Structure 1
Amino acid sequence: MSDVVASHRAALVVAAAGFFLLAPSHAQAQWWKRAPVDFEACADAAEKATTKSEKTAALADCNAKFAGRRKAGGGYSYYDFLQDRSFDIAGPNPTPEEQKKIDESYTAYLANQRRSNEAAQATARQQREQQEQQVQQLQRVALRTEVERVPVPVERPKVQQAAIGDARPRPKGTPCTKGSFSCEWPRLSDGLNDIKKLFSPTPSKPAKKG
């Protein structure tokens, strides 16, 4: 992780130096009477440059020389755009100890970002699973409701009437269809009566007194 932080810092330095080297050579002339002590003093001197190109090159040189900015109440602050936060520093540039703390803060920042991303992904996955469960539950309810709405088949009226007619006793003398209930029932009834007589004892007559 420290190698990543160092590479970010090195890239910034190289970018600033490259911009300065691409400026016209005459912009490197002495455009201040004395060496500036911080960025603000350097920028004030750069504003006095003769041409716009010299001013641009001078401001780029100020950014490369001084990382800190003056604070209203005294001291300096360093803004790290990688973390989007500022750090209080003692001088116009961070000391090695201050730079170490800034790098450690950036390492912690990356770890927090990774944990936040993992938590967000887990939350999104959980919400997606809950939504899928709700959809499945709604589908089951809809299917059960649809099944309950299907009408139960009702026996046709003609079949019901035929069944009722078969159950009624057949009038005497009326021809019947062989095998029908109305035709077979009298015969079955007579048979049952005969069986009952066999198992029912005939009451004996009382003996006559002399």
Structure 2
Amino acid sequence: MAAIVGCAAFASSQAAAQWWSRGPADFEECADIAEKNPAKEARAAALSECNAKFAGRRKPGGGYAYFDFMQNKNFDIAGPNPTPEEQRHIDEQYAIYLENQRRSSIAAAFAAKQQQLQQASLNSEPEKAPTATSSIAKQPPKATTDLRRVRPIGCPKHSFSCEWPRLSEGISDIKKVLFGQSSRDKRS
């Protein structure tokens, strides 16, 4: 009878002792425990489990930081894992990041297209591709009705007055890409 009572007391003491033994509180504690594992494969598996369990990392001054690799940016969080409010904030920042990336890629593509068009127009030589403008450009300049200025009919290359309409059109195209078509443009 005494042996049964002794075994029951021993079993209950082990069960009661489990309430005070807790798991790791954050990644660093979990990683310390995992590093003590002698087997290399078991250590790697334990570290992988720590990564899955805790998103945040302890900061030297206190608190935790969450690194979002999609944005390449750190976020301060209250605990070892982001709260729902913190996760919502991180997701909002990611949406803003994606929108900025989209806009910059559109602007870069548009600038590259404009540069290609500019280079194509600058590189085209009148001898290679005879056109009506090349025959006009070979004619001597004629006077306009304004006697103070003489303007050639065929504009010389790199002339601001000749390049301005194309530049203005390019700026209008950029505005349309970034801000949409204005109501004035939709009517015409």
Provide the rounded CA distance (Å) in 1 between the counterparts of 2:49 and 2:120.
Answer: 59
Provide the rounded CA distance (Å) in 1 between the counterparts of 2:30 and 2:44.
Answer: 12
> Any idea what the Cα deviations from partners look like across 1:155-209, whole Å, max 9, x if unmatched?
xxxxxxxxxxxxxxxxxxxxxxxxxxxxxxxxxxxxxxxxxxxxxxxxxxxxxxx
Q: Which residue of the other structure, out of 65, 70, 87, is the alignment partner of 1:77? A: 65
Provide the rounded CA distance (Å) in 2 between the counterparts of 1:65 and 1:135.
Answer: 60
> Any idea what the Cα deviations from partners look like across 1:40-79, whole Å, max 9, x if unmatched?
0100000111311111111011001100001111100000
Q: Which residue of the other structure, out of 77, 93, 105, is the alignment partner of 2:93? A: 105
Structure 1 residue runs of 4+, over 6 Å off? 141-144
Provide the rounded CA distance (Å) in 2 between the counterparts of 1:132 and 1:56.
Answer: 57
Match of 1:92 in 2: 80
Provide the rounded CA distance (Å) in 1 between the counterparts of 2:89 and 2:83.
Answer: 10
Provide the rounded CA distance (Å) in 1 between the counterparts of 2:74 and 2:27.
Answer: 16
Q: Which residue of the other structure, out of 126, 130, 139, is the alignment partner of 1:140? A: 126
Identity of aligned residues (%): 58
Provide the rounded CA distance (Å) in 2 between the counterparts of 1:105 and 1:34.
Answer: 35
Which structure ranks higher in relative contact order (CA pairs < 8 Å, sequence separation ≥ 6)? 1
TM-score (norm 2): 0.56
1:60 aligns with 2:60: no
Match of 1:51 in 2: 39
- Unaligned 5+ segments in structure 2 are 1-20, 139-188
Provide the rounded CA distance (Å) in 1 between the counterparts of 2:52 and 2:111.
Answer: 43
1:1-210 aligned at under 5 Å gives the runs 34-136=22-124, 139-140=125-126
Partner amino acid, structure 1, of 2:96: A
Partner amino acid, structure 2, of 1:45: I
Provide the rounded CA distance (Å) in 1 between the counterparts of 2:126 and 2:79.
Answer: 70
- Unaligned 5+ segments in structure 1 are 1-32, 149-210
TM-score (norm 1): 0.50
> Any idea what the Cα deviations from partners look like across 1:122-179, whole Å, max 9, x if unmatched?
100111111111112xx127888xxx9xxxxxxxxxxxxxxxxxxxxxxxxxxxxxxx
Partner amino acid, structure 2, of 1:140: P
Per the alignment, in what secondary structure is the counterpart of residue 140 of structure 1?
Answer: coil
Provide the rounded CA distance (Å) in 1 between the counterparts of 2:61 and 2:35.
Answer: 25
Partner amino acid, structure 1, of 2:38: T
